[in-house]
Structure 1
Amino acid sequence: MIMLTIILNILLPPLSVFLKHGLGVTFLISLLLTALGWVPGVIHAFIVNGTR
């Protein structure tokens, strides 16, 4: 499961945040950051998924 989360964090950051935390503010922030630039979305996904 950890390897899948890492791969999703890199390829599809909003999907990995959604699978771990569901729909909510965290998912919307991840979606916005990924839309603004892929790298901020990836960084946010790693931070959010790494803390829980």
Structure 2
Amino acid sequence: MGAVSAILVVLITILFPPIGVWTVAGCGADLFINICLTILGYIPGHIHAFYIEYVYFDRREQVREGRIAAQRAPGVYSDRVQSGGANYGTMIQPTHG
């Protein structure tokens, strides 16, 4: 299912880059930057969107292989993208002591 979702996100990004960024990064700084770049020019919006998606899917693959990226990807502000979606939205259970 991962390949199908990646292809779908790429097809959506070709039509409208901010929607592609929103699907992997959510609503935040990366989306705002992409909207601004898309308004300034269609090509810069695409370049940024595909970079965000590349980092997301690359980090997701690294997590599946059991590797964790040592450094943050430059220019990516979303923790969801930085972690490849791993542990995103989960809450730490309190310890009973």
Q: TM-score, normalised by structure 1?
A: 0.93
Task: Kindly report structure 1 stretches of 4+ aligned residues shifted beyond 4 Å.
Answer: none
- The runs of 5 or more residues in structure 1 that have no matched partner are none
Larger radius of gyration: 2
Q: 1:51 aligns with which of 49, 52, 55?
A: 55
Structure with the higher fraction of residues in helix conformation: 1
Q: 2:40 aligns with which of 19, 36, 43?
A: 36
- Give me the whole-angstrom Cα distance separating, in 1, the residues matched to 2:7 and 2:23: 14
- Give me the whole-angstrom Cα distance separating, in 2, the residues matched to 1:2 and 1:19: 10
Structure of greater relative contact order (alpha carbons < 8 Å, 6+ residues apart): 1
Q: TM-score, normalised by structure 2?
A: 0.52
